[in-house]
């Protein structure tokens, strides 16, 4: 099988593409897979590291505003369609798969010219502009949340599959779990709250946690906090102003980035995070209660819609970014951890919306078109 995967920009678009590629490779060892992206996004790092070839074209997200900048982007994107056509013509794939973002437009149009079957995967509960616009032109759209189905009009075929993610629920033995907790410098008595804001961190969340630490609010729980590499030194300096050493705070582990995220998420009792599609999927797969702070000012406010998927079933508390403070975050954490039955119930509700065998379902849809 020869496959082209269009994925660009953020990890939320690229990682599902890589997971799909891996599944194809696992099932058909002789498959040939290439990615199409831009020269600007994380695909330039993530795709080669995953062992796949990346071809780049020019493609841009366009706003409705009439401006010189937008006209330039439009011209470059038109040029990108030609570039995509050349790649498709030369490579002759059996199928093209898009995992969201503006790159999909150029690649889908190129694929349709040569009558190549196309699948789009939409990770968010509120589909992006590219997916909604391309819906009538593609053969199948795969969605991560049932809620997305009703928001995509004129699609030929929509299938609920879920999003492929690396992180899975694991039941650790007593000694294994104990070692993970000890390696974090924490104890096995108090509940553990995991806090992160994505790979780059989240300033508003970080400010709230700094407030909690300075006021010593976390008397009833422990914290594992990934600040994001770019914000770690800022956090360190701000705590130092209050004579707090970042490496020596009781019941708190602060690090720039968590490399063993699967282990840490599994041993945590509550998760505080943004609400990107992959994070929501991971939280539901693990069956963890969560406090979600959707990133504002993103396309179609999709993080709020993602967060509401968990809130609706009673698995999460949402705090809007502008309303987030150290006090209301601490209150929300305590509201969950004080009542163990509530904590367990929220976890069960999160697990109730998880999807099993995601990669297998996606692979079946690919097979149908090939």
Residue 298 has pLDDT above 80, yes or no: no
Alpha carbon distance 235, 209 (integer Å): 10
Residue 22 has pLDDT above 60, yes or no: yes
Domain range summary for the chain, segments of one domain joined by +: 2-162+356-369, 174-351
Question: Given strand 53-56, what is the order of strands in its sheet?
Answer: 53-56, 32-37, 2-6, 95-98, 118-122, 140-143, 158-160
Q: Name the burial class of residue 336, with classes exposed (0-12), middle (13-18) and buried (19+) by CB atoms within 10 angstroms of its CB.
A: buried
By percentage, how much of the chain surpasses pLDDT 70? Answer: 94
Taking only the tens place, the pLDDT of each residue in 83-110 is 999 999 999 999 999 997 778 989 999 9
By percentage, how much of the chain surpasses pLDDT 90? Answer: 81
Residue 129 has pLDDT above 90, yes or no: no
Residue 133 is predicted with a pLDDT of 87
Taking only the tens place, the pLDDT of each residue in 308-331 is 999 999 999 999 999 999 999 999
Cα pseudo-dihedral 60, 65, 68, 74, rounded to 10 = 30
Architecture of domain 174-351: 3-Layer(aba) Sandwich (3.40)
Taking only the tens place, the pLDDT of each residue in 37-73 is 999 888 999 999 999 999 999 876 655 566 666 667 6
Strands 32-37 and 2-6, by their bridges, are parallel
What pTM did the predictor assign? 0.87
With tokens 């407030």, the residue in question is 211
Sequence-ordered strand ranges (E) for 190-320 = 192-196, 222-226, 252-255, 270-273, 290-292, 316-318
**Mean pLDDT, rounded, for 200-210:** 87
Sequence-distant contacts of 278-281: CB under 8 A, at least 24 apart: 278/11, 278/12, 278/15, 278/16, 278/123, 278/163, 278/165, 279/198, 280/125, 280/306, 280/307, 280/309, 280/310, 281/123, 281/144, 281/162, 281/163, 281/165, 281/354, 281/355
Question: Which residues 6+ apart lie within 8 Å of 309 measured at CB?
Answer: 125, 145, 147, 280, 353
Confidence of residue 199 (pLDDT cuts 50, 70, 90): low
Architecture of domain 2-162+356-369: 3-Layer(aba) Sandwich (3.40)
Q: Which of 286, 278, 295, 201 is nearest to 12 (CA)?
A: 278
Q: How far is CA 106 from CA 60, 87, 130, 134, 253, in A?
A: 10, 11, 10, 10, 45
Least confident of 75-79, 154-158, 287-291: 75-79
CA neighbours closer than 13 Å in the CB half-sphere of residue 353: 28
175 or 68: which leads in pLDDT: 175
């Amino acid at each position: 099988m020869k496959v082209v995967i269009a994925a660009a920009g953020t990890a939320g678009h690229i990682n599902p593409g890589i997971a799909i590629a891996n599944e194809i490779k696992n099932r058909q060892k002789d498959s040939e897979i290439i990615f199409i992206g831009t020269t600007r996004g994380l695909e330039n790092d993530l795709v080669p590291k995953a062992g796949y070839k990346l071809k780049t074209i020019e493609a841009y997200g366009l706003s409705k505003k009439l401006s010189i900048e937008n006209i330039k982007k439009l011209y470059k994107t038109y040029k990108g369609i030609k570039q995509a056509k050349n790649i498709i013509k030369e490579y002759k794939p059996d199928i093209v798969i898009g995992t969201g973002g503006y790159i999909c437009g150029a690649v889908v149009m190129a694929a349709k010219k040569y009558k190549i079957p196309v699948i789009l995967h939409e990770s968010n509960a509120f589909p992006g502009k590219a997916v909604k616009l391309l819906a009538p032109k593609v053969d199948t759209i795969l969605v991560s949340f049932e809620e997305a189905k009703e928001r995509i009009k004129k699609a030929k075929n929509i299938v609920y599959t879920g999003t492929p993610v690396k992180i899975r629920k694991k039941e650790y033995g007593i000694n294994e779990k104990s070692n993970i907790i000890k390696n974090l410098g924490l104890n096995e008595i108090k509940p553990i709250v995991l806090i992160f804001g994505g790979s780059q961190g989240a300033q508003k969340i970080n400010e709230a946690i700094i407030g909690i630490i300075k006021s010593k609010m976390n008397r009833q729980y422990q914290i594992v906090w990934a600040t994001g590499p770019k914000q770690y030194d800022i956090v360190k300096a701000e705590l130092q102003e209050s004579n707090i050493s970042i490496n020596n705070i009781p019941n708190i582990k602060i690090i720039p980035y968590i490399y063993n995220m699967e282990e840490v998420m599994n041993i945590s009792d509550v998760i505080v995070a943004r609400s990107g599609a992959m994070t929501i999927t991971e939280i539901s797969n693990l069956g963890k209660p969560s406090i979600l702070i959707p990133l504002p000012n993103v396309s179609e406010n999709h993080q709020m819609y993602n967060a509401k998927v968990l809130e609706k079933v009673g698995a999460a508390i949402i705090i809007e970014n502008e309303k987030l403070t150290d006090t209301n975050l601490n209150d929300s954490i305590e509201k969950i951890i004080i009542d163990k039955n509530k904590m367990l119930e929220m976890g069960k509700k999160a697990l109730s919306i998880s999807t099993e065998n995601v990669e297998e379902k996606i692979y079946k849809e690919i097979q149908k078109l090939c």
